[in-house]
Amino acid sequence: MMKFKDHDLTSAEYPGVLVKQFGVKDSSEGIIEGLHATEIVLDNPTQLNSYTTEMVKGVISAMQRASNERACVAVVFTGSGDRAFCTGGNTAEYAEYYAGRPEEYRQYMRLFNDMVTAILHCDKPVICRVNGMRIAGGQEIGMACDFSIAQDLALIGQAGPKHGSAPDGGSTDFLPLFVGIEAAMESCTMCEHWSAHKAYRLGLLTEVVPALKIDGEFVSNPMAITDRYLDRMGRIVHGEFLQGADRKAAKERMARGEVDLTLLDVAVDRLVTKLAQTMPGCLTKTIESVRKHKLQHWDKNRESNRAWLGLNMMTEGRVGFRAFHEGRRECREADFTLLRRRLAEGAVWNEDLVDAVLEKAHVARNSAEGVEASG
């Protein structure tokens, strides 16, 4: 047997990223000898698989190694558990270390950009296994993948302008290619989450499968409209979330069920099998050619975006990430209207302005701690 050269840059393991291999099935459900798929797992479930600096480095390393694995048919990129694929950058790390340190965050964004590029440059097709929420930076690294298969309870969307940033880690580049400029503008600015069914309808996902079992049977996401396409006024409602009494009833139905990702794994296996039944060189070239549409925008904008995101950590990023981290569920947002008024009056960015804009989130935190103490 010929001795191969080692083309990997590093073989280091990084905390928070798991790398596994699993067998590739043939059309008869048998395992094909000598081939495998590589699964890269964001393993930070207690923080909804948000990525730390070390995890970003781990993904880069794992993608590069999987790209070079000669027997690898495809890469499956996913998260631990059933709540989240990824909710973006780790806000604790952002708030406690990067806030107010633009040069440090700029170095971090070099790593983030390299993570997205590593996905887009992988010599193997990359499948995003959307096992739960795909939000903010999680949405961006998910869109960098070639295919996305989601369980239908997953939430899809952005968080940038609500939490002190802009979705310039890929969403402003990729999302218009998937869903068109108007829908992309709405998602990137309003940060209102989409159901997996809506994301699928808009062309953002390859496939959606049910994940909720009630009385032993899989059912469609009770929180979303899936039984009709139009309302009586002719507006598209398929995939939109229920409201009012219907939403309350849907929550009660959700509580009766349990999450089961069996069908998600079946769908991922099925896609890997289909990919294995192609010419490897032709498949790689086709994927590279289709990716060029993403890379055209990504390569044009990523460096200027990185510089702006670093500087933003001195101002709105500093406030937004701290509000999310230091607040509580009742309020994790800065006081937007106060900030707008103060800036319109001529206020400069200093500690007094930061403290004033954070007060709303701190009140929520103190109220929650008071309830916990009295309980």
- Model pLDDT, residue 8: 74
Which contacts qualify for 304-309: CB closer than 8 Å, 24 or more apart? 305/109, 305/166, 305/168, 305/169, 305/172, 306/106, 306/109, 306/110, 306/113, 307/106, 308/166, 308/168, 309/105, 309/106, 309/109, 309/165, 309/166, 309/168, 309/169
* Burial zone of 196 (CB within 10 Å; 0-12 exposed, 13-18 middle, 19+ buried): buried
User: How many whole angstroms from its chain centre is CA 283?
Assistant: 26
Q: How far apart, in whole angstroms, are the C-alpha atoms of residue 25 and residue 289?
A: 27
Is the separation of the CB atoms in 264 and 131 below 8 Å?
yes
Mean pLDDT, rounded, of the chain = 95
Q: Rounded to a whole number, what is the distance in angstroms from the first to the last CA of the chain?
A: 69
Query: 291-327, pLDDT tens digit by residue?
Result: 999 999 999 999 999 999 999 999 999 999 999 999 9
Read off the pLDDT of each residue in 331-341 and give the average, rounded to a whole number: 95
The two three-digit tokens of residue 112, written as one number: 């983030």
- Helix-strand-coil percent breakdown of the chain, rounded to 5? 50, 20, 30
Give the CA count within 13 Å in the CB-facing half-sphere of 313: 23
Query: 7-23, pLDDT tens digit by residue?
Result: 677 777 889 999 999 99
The band of 375, judged by pLDDT with boundaries at 50, 70 and 90, is low
Beta-strand (E) ranges in 102-202? Answer: 126-130, 133-135, 147-151, 155-157, 194-195
Query: pTM to 2 decimals?
Result: 0.94
Query: 242-300, pLDDT tens digit by residue?
Result: 999 999 999 999 999 999 999 999 999 999 999 999 999 999 999 999 999 999 999 99
- Tell me the three state secondary structure of residue 165: coil
Q: How far apart, in whole angstroms, are the C-alpha atoms of residue 329 and residue 146?
A: 34
Query: The dihedral of CA 156, 204, 121, 185: what is its sign?
Result: negative
Of the listed ranges 69-83, 100-114, 269-283, 354-368, the one predicted with least confidence: 354-368
Strand order in the sheet with 212-214: 217-219, 212-214, 258-259
- Model pLDDT, residue 351: 95
- Model pLDDT, residue 129: 98
Show me where the domains of the chain are located: 17-211+260-310, 327-374
The band of 139, judged by pLDDT with boundaries at 50, 70 and 90, is very high
Is the separation of the CB atoms in 314 and 349 below 8 Å?
yes
Q: What CATH number has the domain spanning 17-211+260-310?
A: 3.90.226.10
Q: How far apart, in whole angstroms, are the C-alpha atoms of residue 90 and residue 103?
A: 18
State percent of the chain over pLDDT 90. Answer: 91
- Model pLDDT, residue 369: 75
- Model pLDDT, residue 366: 85
* Burial zone of 124 (CB within 10 Å; 0-12 exposed, 13-18 middle, 19+ buried): buried
The two three-digit tokens of residue 177, written as one number: 């290619």
